[in-house]
Amino acid sequence: MSSFASMKKQSSGGLDKLAKAVEALNTDKGEKSDNYWKPEVDKVGNGMATIRFLPASPKDGEDSLPWVKTYSHGFQGPGGWLIDNCLTTKGEQCPICEHNSGLWNTNIPENQEKVRKQKRKLNYVSNVYVVSDPKHPENEGKVFLFRYGKKIFDKLTEAMNPAFADEEKVNPFDLWTGANFKLKIRKVDGYQNYDKSEFESAAPLLDDDSELEKVWQSEYSLQELVSDKEFKSYDVLKARLEKVLSLTGESAPTGRKTVADEVKSSRPAFSRDETQDIPMGKSSSGSDDDTEYFSRLAAMDD
């Protein structure tokens, strides 16, 4: 458990730690829905809300990060839906990813199209404080878990590591020196787009430290989301995959010998998919990430 006083004392020095963690993400390779907040959009797909990303939960300890990175699978086959966390989240081998890499390595367009529909999906989860939620004002002033994709994570990264020298670095997760995030959603080419989202000027979330501490203490544990109990075993996932894709009795292509090394060393794949719900249909991620990821696997098999 970390102390509130200790966190405030270290407030100005936390940015370097987070920046290093972001760099590490770029080089390394079950949910209670009522705890999660999601912005609502109108009939044409537009929406807006203001949130504040919060520091690491006191339930996770002082050395924890204010986000967790997760991979999941969600697709439908002849035998029903497969909606499960991907074992690569923990750096372990995943039978679904192995099956996908085997299909991709065939270089058959039909198989590669199947892979795009079955690929793992990247998300991040953080605690957030809802400042403004026009569609659901009852959420304002409350703490929720928030699942988001790489586009929003890039906004956080840019705040911590601005591209231009005249821009001030901001720790967006800090209660005192952070900044509120104006989440602006548009529908572009049929998919949710977050490009117009932006941070406001840096300022304390609230003026009263006692109220800030209440907010902090009400955060959810992020480490629980990636604990072993949230993942099925390799063998169980493999059985689920065979049932959903009706693979029993067939010789399903795999790339098992390469996946363990790949998940440790590759950058996040399929990172443009910002869709937050599963089951999911057509993906908004482009094919470039898919091609690069599976092409690397194919090259390692040669």
* pLDDT given for residue 16 in this prediction: 66
Superfamily the domain 4-301 falls into: Replication Fork Single-Stranded Dna Binding Protein (3.90.198.10)
User: Cα–Cα distance between 298 and 107 in angstroms, integer?
Assistant: 9
pLDDT, block means (10 residues), the chain with 302 residues: 72 64 48 79 94 97 93 95 96 96 95 94 97 96 97 96 90 97 94 94 96 97 96 97 84 43 35 35 39 51 46
Give the start-to-end residue ranges of the domains of the chain.
Answer: 4-301
User: Cα–Cα distance between 58 and 299 in angstroms, integer?
Assistant: 44
* pLDDT given for residue 95 in this prediction: 97
- pTM check: above 0.85: no
Helix, strand or coil, per DSSP, at residue 74? strand
Helix, strand or coil, per DSSP, at residue 109? helix
Q: Which two tokens stand for residue 200?
A: 């406001």
For residues 74 and 280, the answer to whether their CB atoms sit within 8 Å is: yes
DSSP state letters, 124-188: EEEEEEEEE-TT-GGGTT-EEEEEE-HHHHHHHHHHHS-SSTTSPP--TT-TTT---EEEEEEEE
User: Cα–Cα distance between 280 and 285 in angstroms, integer?
Assistant: 12
* pLDDT given for residue 251 in this prediction: 47
CB neighbours (10 Å) of residue 62? 12
* pLDDT given for residue 5 in this prediction: 78
* pLDDT given for residue 22 in this prediction: 58
Beta carbons within 8 Å of 296's beta carbon, 6+ residues apart: 262, 266
Nearest C-alpha neighbor of 119 from the set 299, 301, 273, 300: 273
Helix, strand or coil, per DSSP, at residue 199? strand
